[in-house]
Structure 1
Amino acid sequence: MKRWLGTSLAASLLLTACVTINVYFPAAEAKEAAKEFVDKVIGDSVPATDAQPRPQTPGGQGGSASLHRPQRPFNWLALVGIGTAYAQESADISIKTPAIQAIQGRMATRFSAQLRAGFDAGALGLTRDGMVEVRDASRLALKDRVAMTQAVADDNRDRKAVYREVAVANGHPEWEGQIRGIFAQQWIASAHGGWWYQDSAGSWKQK
């Protein structure tokens, strides 16, 4: 009898102390981080003094993050003492690490020195998975083709590295695919008129 009571008490304490941690991917914050990174690479950063204030929601909270928070489902496990901790409010995406900023600096220099000319000429395009591709080498002078192809390869290596680094730096390596998807959308959104990009089906379109 005593053994049964002891086991029951231990089980009850375990259930009471059990907490499930749900960390939602902060999509709104990731989009903001991607825009900041991409605009700096292609040279379209907006000075802080010119930035427009975020619109206020009826509840008085600015920003879009609160609009993208998923609704919390009813927690049936709470009825038996198993709590659920939600970390959505505290989740964020940071791109202010030395490794990420070093990659950003290399990409910005490369873009200004080589890739911009390729995009302006229509030789390069943005792929749907966040990479760069030489879509029409005939639009480049023959003497520039080898160097441009190498620049694209170097840039794609940095792109893969930054998607991975952003996820790891924010403590969630499993977010790499989602980070890459959001960056892919942002590269296209920030593209200038006349640049080429792939749509969701992989077809080339001109912006």
Structure 2
Amino acid sequence: MKRFLLLLALLSLPAAAAPASDQINLDIGTPPVVVVKHSLAQRASRLVRFYEVGIIGLGYDGMVKLRDGSRLTLPQRQIAEKLIDNENPDRNSLIYALAEGQGGKALEPAAREAQVKRWKEQFHSGWWIEDAKGNWSQKP
């Protein structure tokens, strides 16, 4: 009977609300976050060449996408695709590390939303961003 009452008491407690994305600290310095940010930073200068000419852009989900590869030679396309293939897993790892560093997997959606917002803010004017419908436009 005591177990039943305890269970009943626990079930009647309000559920903890998931934190909003504005409550996620994107600047925490846990070792996993630092390692992934370092990896992303090392690749950034090579990605910039492709952002500036509109070959790649920032997808709606925060991942880097090949936007227009028609002007690339085969070796250039391979370089761009290799960069994207290395960048996106690191971006997902960063989001996971941010969530883990602040409470666990349950915070992953809020961490993703906050980090994607930051990436969009950091994107330069003239670089291409994808909207929710899959349409591309240049950042003003």
Structure 1 length normalisation: TM-score?
0.57
Cα displacement string for residues 65-113 of structure 1 (whole angstroms, at most 9, x for unaligned residues): xxxxxxxxxxxxxxxxxxxxxxxxxxxxxx211111111011011011x
For residue 23 of structure 2, what is the aligned residue in structure 1? 29
Cα displacement string for residues 17-65 of structure 1 (whole angstroms, at most 9, x for unaligned residues): x8656254043232x62xx5xxxxxxxxxxxxxxxxxxxxxxxxxxxxx
| Contact 1:133–1:152 (Cα < 8 Å) also in 2 | yes
Counterparts of 2:124 and 2:49, CA distance in 1: 12
| Contact 2:54–2:68 (Cα < 8 Å) also in 1 | yes
Q: Which amino acid aligns with 1:199?
A: D
Instruction: Check 1:139–1:185 CA distance in 2 against 1; reply closer, same or farther (3 A cut).
Output: farther
Instruction: Check 1:119–1:135 CA distance in 2 against 1; reply closer, same or farther (3 A cut).
Output: same
Query: Deviation at 1:183?
Result: 1.7
For residue 110 of structure 1, what is the aligned residue in structure 2? 43
Structure 2 length normalisation: TM-score?
0.81
Query: Deviation at 1:170?
Result: 1.3
Q: Which amino acid aligns with 2:68?
A: D
SS at match of 1:138: coil
Q: Which amino acid aligns with 2:124?
A: H
Query: Deviation at 1:142?
Result: 4.4
Q: Which amino acid aligns with 1:22?
A: A
2:106 aligned with 1:174, yes or no?
A: yes
Counterparts of 2:30 and 2:19, CA distance in 1: 20
SS at match of 1:130: coil
Equivalences for residues 44-193 of structure 1 within 5 A: 95-112=28-45, 114-193=46-125
For residue 197 of structure 1, what is the aligned residue in structure 2? 129
Identity rate, percent: 29
Counterparts of 1:174 and 1:189, CA distance in 2: 25
For residue 57 of structure 1, what is the aligned residue in structure 2? none
SS at match of 2:70: helix
Query: Deviation at 1:186?
Result: 2.1
Q: Which runs of 5+ in 2 are unaligned?
A: none
Q: Which runs of 5+ in 1 are unaligned?
A: 1-6, 37-94
Counterparts of 1:178 and 1:170, CA distance in 2: 11
